[in-house]
Chains A and B, each alone.
Chain A
Amino acid sequence: MSPSMSSDTILTVDNLTMRFGGLTAVDSLSFTATRGEITALIGPNGAGKTTVFNCITGFYKPTEGRIALAHGSAAAFDRLEDLTDSPEQFSRNGSDALFLLERMQDHDVSGKAHVARTFQNIRLFGGMTVLENLMVAQHLPLMKASGYSIFGLLGLPGYRKAENEAIDKARYWLEHINLVDRADEPAAGLPYGDQRRLEIARAMCSDPVLLCLDEPAAGLNARESHDLNDILTFIRREHGTSLLLIEHDMSVVMEISDHVVVLDYGKKISDGTPDYVRNDPKVIAAYLGVDDEEIDDVEAEVSK
């Protein structure tokens, strides 16, 4: 499978390059993610996976390259070149919209383009309660309901209604991650596995079209990892949210992803279905640490 523009693309990354001084962490990487699918980004340690995430979510400004995200249908990509030539960050057309993420500030990537992410090292607001963590993610609709004024915050009916809706949504997610009973406890007091799922729920509360998960299975035991798979497939099935996933746990990657992109030293070395990637000699070489000259040998070995 080649990274061609498939029927319903949600994200295209073109020639993404990120340099830190003399170090090229990501080297002209291009790939696409399809709407409603789980795309996994894998690679050995230091391959540049998290850097790609940081560029997509506005954490870093990429040195070069373009990251485009479409809302609605992939037809939005027809305007990609026009948008690139214009100084705008995004263009809307009815229900379709196209965003150039590399031009946007971090809070707009979430607030306008609706890209959410989780972190390798969990970044919950530990001193706030579980419920409040989910409410913070709904700050924007709540502020809109309050009319951005102090008076609105202190009890206009519109704000009350929005707040009740926000609580309902938070409760919905708490039910799905089995944390309703602990809603008023500080998030930092939860067990590790619950914190991971809470972080995912918090990201979902911001209504993302694309959810980027950085090693969601890291540090989870087999049962927790299984629960995680369930919640991720649930998100895809019930909410149609597209997922972009960095993962080391191959059981997670192979079980739930539809499409796998493999990075090594910042370059893409393979791209395709899990089965295709699993048998790609270049991937095997990268993971097992074989010299370039030996790739042919490995290839011969695999094809046997």
Chain B
Amino acid sequence: MEYFLQQLINGLTLGSIYGLIAIGYTMVYGIIGMINFAHGDIFMVGAFVSLIALLLITALGITAVPLALLLVLVIAMIITSLYGWTVERVAYRPLRGSFRLAPLISAIGMSIVLQNYIQIVQGARVKAIQPIVTGGIPLMESADGFVARIANIQIIIIVTTVVLMTVFSLIVAKTSLGRAQRACEQDLKMAALLGIDTNRVISLTFVMGAALAAVAGCMYLVYYGVLDFYIGFVAGVKAFTAAVLGGIGSLPGAMLGGILIGLIEAFWAGYFSSEYKDVAAFSILAIALIFLPTGILGRPEVEKV
């Protein structure tokens, strides 16, 4: 029981990070029907920006952890958003209206560009930081002495994710901007004919996705404490899996998919073998695609004839 609880907490933490990244995939897919393969690398850039921001802030002498974390988060979101915006502007927008595979190939290209760029400017070695948030709350102790505990950093990650998801869902559900996004999602051309600047809405979607990926990157940094230029690939593919599992194009789906993938990984690693946790995650994806092709919360495309 204690062990189960521990894996549940670990899985939720991991799932929050995947969920934050998955939102970027699902929103971009929803609006322009394209898989942004560079999104995982935007997450990686977010993690590196967080690292640099953290070092700068520490150097400036701000040692209060909550303030430092908040500053890092804000800086990472802003700078990573710029990356997201730029990627869309230079690599996808010129290809809009060209054949469907063109932006996909361009996205893979951007992914490689970002990886190599970070590899060159930051070096290929693994970077590590001291844990900045320590401690935790013991929850349960079993007879043989195993203590299930929730670390403070896990609380921070889960709470931040929940808060951001709520704000974000409110923006999409209630505001004019969100309405425009949903309208673009359903019929881009018609939205334009109602006076909506669709290019701006698409840019904003990339910016929002990148901002959330930056949050995920920042959380990843403080949770694991190590990063290199290649983390974007695996995390990106996992988050993409989460988006597909939850139903690509659906925001709650992305979150749910992220948490499910996180839980599957944590439980598999905890009860079976941690070497095969990726196999478990992707097997679930394959099974889901066979029996539930539109994902858990995805809408089936019904064509009226």
Contacts and interface: CB of A to CB of B under 8 A. Distances in A.
Q: Do A and B bind each other?
A: yes
Interface of A: 57-59, 105-111, 116-117, 119, 123, 125-128, 132, 135-140, 142-143, 146, 150, 153-154, 163, 202, 206
Given A136-B179, A142-B176, A153-B171, A106 B193 contact: yes
20 contacts: A57-B193, A107-B195, A109-B193, A116-B193, A123-B187, A125-B186, A127-B299, A128-B179, A128-B183, A132-B179, A132-B182, A139-B183, A139-B196, A140-B196, A142-B176, A143-B177, A146-B176, A150-B177, A163-B176, A206-B194
Contacts of B176: 135, 138-139, 142-143, 146, 153, 163
A128 B194 contact: no
Interface in B192-243: 192-198
B182 A107 contact: no
B194 A139 contact: yes
Interface string B149-182: 0000000000000000000001100011101101
B127 interface: no
A156 B195 CA distance: 23
B190 interface: yes
Closest 7 CB pairs of A and B: A111-B195, A142-B176, A110-B195, A153-B175, A106-B192, A107-B192, A136-B183
B299 A110 contact: no
Contact of A136 (B170, B171, B196): B196
Contact of B190 (A123, A150, A154): A123
Contact of B175 (A105, A123, A127, A154): A154
B96 interface: no
B197 A111 contact: yes
B189 A106 contact: yes
Instruction: Specify which of A117, A125, A163 lies most central, judged by the most chain B CB atoms within 10 Å of its CB.
Output: A125
B140 interface: no
A126 B186 contact: yes
Interface of B: 170-171, 175-177, 179-180, 182-183, 186-187, 189-198, 299
B82 to A, nearest CB: 16
Given A57-B193, A111-B196, A139-B183, 16 more contacts: A58-B192, A59-B189, A107-B198, A116-B194, A123-B187, A125-B182, A125-B186, A125-B187, A127-B182, A127-B186, A136-B180, A137-B195, A139-B176, A139-B180, A150-B177, A154-B175
A132 B186 CA distance: 13
Nearest to B176: A142
A142 B195 CA distance: 12
A146 B189 CA distance: 24
Contacts of A106: 189, 192-193
A72 to B, nearest CB: 19
B141 to A, nearest CB: 44
A128 B195 contact: no
Contacts of A119: 190
B4 to A, nearest CB: 39
B163 to A, nearest CB: 13
A59 B175 CA distance: 27
Nearest to A117: B193
Contacts of A59: 189, 193
Contacts of A139: 176, 179-180, 183, 194-196
Given A107-B198, A126-B186, A127-B299, A136 B191 contact: yes
A285 B177 CA distance: 51
Contacts of B177: 143, 146, 150, 153
B77 to A, nearest CB: 12
Contacts of B190: 119, 123, 125
Contact of A135 (B179, B191, B195, B197): B179
Contacts of B187: 123, 125
A107 B180 contact: no
Given A135-B176, A153-B175, A163-B176, A202 B194 contact: yes
A184 to B, nearest CB: 13
A116 B190 CA distance: 10
Contacts of A137: 194-195
A150 B171 contact: yes
B186 A107 contact: no
Contacts of A143: 176-177, 180
A150 B208 CA distance: 11
Contacts of B299: 127
Nearest to B180: A139
Nearest to B175: A153
Which of B179, B187, B194 is the most central at the interface, judged by chain A CB atoms within 10 Å of its CB? B194
A230 to B, nearest CB: 24
B99 to A, nearest CB: 18
Given A143-B177, A153-B171, A153-B176, A125 B195 contact: no
A283 to B, nearest CB: 31
A58 to B, nearest CB: 8
B189 to A, nearest CB: 7
Nearest to B186: A125
Most buried by A among B177, B186, B195, B299: B195
A125 B187 CA distance: 7
A270 B103 CA distance: 47
Contacts of A116: 193-194
A107 B197 contact: yes
